């Protein structure tokens, strides 16, 4: 059995049925793809409590905004942007990564590749974008947080 077959078998044996389409806590979380960042555990919840939107860096991108529009249609009325320390998205300039991937694959990347150099500045930019976009009906309850992967502590930077 291959590694991916084993993962699928395990997922079938532990899948939770009956979770709600709309999250129980009426909240959406934008978080990084980093495996050390587990929003349900960090926030003290369980599967089904939050809509979790993940992307590299936990950035407020056009696609994250699109997902939030769907999320709010399904009952969320608050947003938590959860960025984290020691984020790889800060270590690799987007132009360098884009050029590397294009060289390795021989394909042109046609979508935006994002990076940032200051965690708190990027967090503030994302929260401000969410609070001011007319595309979200519920934008008055947006919180910006930073999760420290070493101490396992979540700090609210923008309330």
pTM for the model stands at: 0.87
How far is CA 41 from each of CA 11, 34, 95, 109, 153, rounded to the nearest angstrom? 19, 14, 34, 34, 12
Question: Helix, strand or coil for residue 50?
Answer: strand
Give the residue, 80 or 4, on which the prediction is more confident. 80
Fold classification of 21-87+116-158 is: Beta-carbonic Anhydrase; Chain A (3.40.1050)
Domain boundaries along the sequence of the chain: 21-87+116-158
According to DSSP, the residues that pair with 29 across neighbouring strands are: 52, 80
pLDDT digits 0-9 by tens, 121-148 = 999 999 999 999 999 999 999 999 999 9
Outline where 15-138 has alpha helix (H): 39-42, 62-73, 94-105, 119-132
pLDDT at 9: 65
């Amino acid at each position: 059995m291959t590694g991916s077959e084993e993962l699928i078998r395990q997922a079938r044996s532990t899948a939770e049925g009956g979770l709600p389409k709309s999250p129980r806590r009426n909240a959406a979380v934008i978080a990084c793809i980093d495996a050390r960042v587990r929003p349900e555990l960090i926030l003290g919840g369980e599967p089904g409590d939050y809509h979790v939107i993940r992307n590299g860096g936990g950035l407020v991108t056009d696609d994250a905004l699109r997902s939030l529009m769907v999320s709010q249609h399904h009952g969320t009325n608050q947003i938590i942007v959860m960025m984290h320390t020691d984020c790889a998205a800060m270590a690799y300039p987007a132009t360098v990564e884009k050029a590397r991937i294009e060289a390795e694959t021989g394909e042109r990347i046609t979508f935006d590749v994002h990076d940032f150099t200051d965690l708190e500045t990027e967090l503030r930019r994302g929260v401000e974008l969410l609070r001011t976009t007319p595309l979200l009906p519920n934008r008055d309850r947006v919180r910006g947080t930073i999760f420290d992967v070493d101490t396992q502590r979540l700090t609210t930077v923008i309330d």
